[in-house]
Amino acid sequence: MFLSACSNNSNSASKGTDSSSTGSMSSTNTVPMTGTPSAKKSSTKKDSSAAGKIGNTNPDQATVDYLVAGNAKEIAWLMAGEKRTANKEIQAHSKMMLADHTTLGEKLSVLIGSKNLTAPPVDTMGVVTINDLKGKEWDKAWVDKAVKDHQELFEKLKQSEAHVRDSSLRKIVISTEPIVRSHLDMVKKMQDKMK
């Protein structure tokens, strides 16, 4: 299932480069994003390159590719925010945003399982690149990246609105926009406090 794959993978990413924390994940931390048989096939390198080619010509597949990858990496980042800081505001906001991103992952998982789409393999190893920082420096770096990532995701969602063909995927894109926008506003407010 998407959620458990992301959770296991994100835990290892939030612990830095400790490869012993990967549990049952492969050494590259490439994860199939759903529990469907077709998605498991997509975790091979051969299927990954095929998905990339499909994504170039199929706007629905391209949208799924960036949503699944971006969401899995955001989950890793939010888990780090919840667990690695002493800042109560970052912890609380991370927990809330994590619930929203987990819900998005579940929606994508159901969609992929019911359509002619594949989940790309996602490597979240090394997503949390600020483990050498401490205290307020870590908090500021975390917030700065959260702003950047949410800004990029929001812009991609707006762009994909005009290109997505599948009505179910379009519904996910449109319903996700205000959520991502609220996350962006929230982390921007935190960023302003840290200047």
Residues above pLDDT 70, as percent of the chain:
71
Neighbours of 175 (CB within 10 A): 12
User: Which DSSP string corresponds to 77-137?
Assistant: HHHHHHHH---HHHHHHHHHHHHHHHHHHHHHHHHHHHTT--PPPEE-TT----TT--HHH
CATH code of the domain containing 34:
1.20.1260.10
Residue 150 confidence (pLDDT)? 95
Long-range contacts of 19-26 (CB under 8 A, 24+ apart): 22/125
Residue 19 confidence (pLDDT)? 33
Which residue type sits at 134?
K
- Could you give the number of structural domains in the chain? 1
Which tokens sit at 38? 């077709």
Domain extent for 103: 2-193
Residue 64 confidence (pLDDT)? 96
Question: With 50 as the cut, is the pLDDT of residue 88 above it?
Answer: yes
Distance (Å) of CA 167 to CA 28, 94, 136, 162, 163:
34, 30, 44, 12, 11
**Cα gap 176→169, rounded to integer Å:** 10
Mean pLDDT over the full length of the chain: 78
Give 147-170 pLDDT, tens digit per residue. Answer: 999 999 999 999 999 899 999 999
